[in-house]
A and B are shown apart, each in its own frame.
Chain A
């Protein structure tokens, strides 16, 4: 890495230099700062998605309610799903990838720091683009899966589907860029001695997730391109009158969509695989099995998509094959669950908030998994499809699984980035309110579904037997809201008033706990040499302690850069232009190319 001053003077534009203030955040390429940006932005979208959910629950609290109309309700469930999947859960996981992966690997940053910043800016601008549809009264209302031919011009005139289709395309760029970055970071930037089988599980799950992203996203990219041609150019890819086949959309969507499910859950599985051993004071039981199960889940994830389509009528052979592959996934998932339980078994358990959420994950995820296996059987699925039973199922895996896992990680790693512990009392209030509220909200949906209440209806009649339990669900939703407020309060007050954490507040196992909290910009002045799995733990057991790091070291780090933001902004203009005017699109495209060129020829360090 050459000296900063020598390259800066030869450059046309002055390079950003500030270390603090707004400008330093805009130009940052530091993975830890990008993690914070990701977290704050994704949490903001999580709150928006939550508000959408609460509005739906208010509407459904009583029969024949008129709180919102049918059109608004459609928009609410579409944007709730889209927001939670693409703007909340995925980026919350990415926030942890950014914060934790380089630290656990013993690296100074990700492989491509500017690409990392670019991912964030595309995510932010894509999220704002998608949500700006509310301001134009054109919120997407065709479901987060956007089934054809509801998305055609004939059935969805106006811009609602355009916002969804272009917004997802835009956000896909962020996910792909991030995935490329983490694949190379994990394969190439492990500390000396860290073989794959010494690598922390969270890094393993990030690696599997990144491969899923890289291979699954191009499929939805093509599907969205074809839809764009249908809507803007007048082709008939998904329009039966012109010879197109709406079922192709379903195939393409779910070839992406099912790996996407594992993209959402594997990071959370990685998180709790770090949390459980730390608070049980035992190594993770069956580490290789947990690793291989994660890889196996990832591979199988590409062979099960049609279980989302049993009701299409694909024929007995296709249905049988996809039923069997789907049931197979229960094996690696079960292996993981048994390994987690065995990790807890006989351990010196410290019931911190983080551990409570991790244990909550196991319990809730088992329930979600069991209802999932029921859907794997086509005859059972035909009864359950499009009912609230399915809604109950996927909230048990995505809320009971992913969100609880993310909360476990939040309490666990918050001290690493802020230097202060979160408040445990508030944390436990948050945990119990969330667990109780969650089960009150979603468990009754199993019953409602089996009793025949369909999904995606904006209201229901009196006397169908749905009244009481719907009210119960709505009450549960408000308990979750109170729990989430406790979390938000905790996040804010602990920043200033939390107990000072020190480098290793949990007596933990992996390399991120061997350096100060918050870590210096360069993370490791001396790259650690790894000799064991859970290297820090082994060193502590041997009485060695962490590898000493000289304070105030001078390590050349990558320069800040504004070109990632400029490039992302060009893309925003391009995608907006596709809706508004072709000249704007061309300008945006040229602007993007300009940004890429400046970026490519800017010295990285």
Chain B
């Protein structure tokens, strides 16, 4: 993440692709298997509950649609943040990084509300039934990924305020963007498979 690391990145590679970007794609491949397994577990178990509440009793599609919209918009602001950094537009970088992190926070806030509501009003907990267990673990791990992304974006934001973010190390932002878009795509899968197709 430092200037010297960025300089090393410009070294020759056999494929012409940057090492850090390539390792991150490999990591995302691994993450596909991770979420694929979690989603499969949910699909296998959602009808295994011995007692309620069931998915159709509790899932709040309007609220989650709003969450999904927020997360999709954050991908747009992420793209704008990267474009700003690549053009050495520090002010733009600050604005769009802050917006992306902020939208991520709104998503997490919604999820916290959703989880709390399920536990306190619907009586749905991890231990209650198979739907609860697999739902909370799947969406919880996704939420943890979003949280990690917000922390990462905040770190970049701090770097921007310290004047350490410029077109020279735009790769730092690009890789964070890859992660953010990935987490976003996973949410599209979860939103469709868990919320829309019950």
Contacts and interface: CB of A to CB of B under 8 A. Distances in A.
B197 interface: no
A604 B14 contact: no
Given A112-B23, A237-B133, A604-B4, A243 B126 contact: no
B27 interface: yes
- The size class of the interface chain B forms with chain A is 35 or more
Which secondary structure characterizes the binding site on chain A?
A: helix
B13 interface: yes
A189 interface: yes
A190 B1 CA distance: 24
Nearest to B3: A2
Nearest to B33: A218
- The size class of the interface chain A forms with chain B is 35 or more
B19 interface: yes
B127 A1 contact: no
Interface string B1-31: 1111101100011110101001100110111
Interface string A182-219: 01100111101010000000000000000000111111
Interface in B108-151: 126-127, 129-130, 133-134, 137, 141
Interface stretch (A124-132, A220-228, A567-575): A220-228
Contacts of A184: 19, 22-23, 26
B22 A604 contact: no
A570 to B, nearest CB: 16
A184 B25 CA distance: 10
Contacts of B19: 111-112, 184, 188-189
Interface stretch (A64-72, A244-252, A308-316, A509-517): A244-252
Contacts of B141: 225
Given A187-B22, A235-B133, A248 B44 contact: yes
Given A222-B41, A604-B8, A183 B13 contact: no
A243 B132 CA distance: 12
A236 interface: yes
A131 B171 CA distance: 41
A601 B37 contact: no
Given A180-B23, A229-B137, A214 B130 contact: no
B14 A219 contact: no
- Sorted from nearest, which 6 A-B pairs have the closest CB atoms? A218-B34, A218-B33, A222-B37, A188-B13, A235-B133, A2-B4
Interface of B: 1-5, 7-8, 12-15, 17, 19, 22-23, 26-27, 29-31, 33-34, 37-38, 41, 44-45, 48-50, 126-127, 129-130, 133-134, 137, 141, 155
Given A7-B4, A188-B14, 13 more contacts: A187-B14, A189-B19, A194-B14, A215-B29, A222-B38, A235-B137, A237-B130, A237-B133, A242-B50, A243-B45, A243-B129, A244-B45, A603-B2
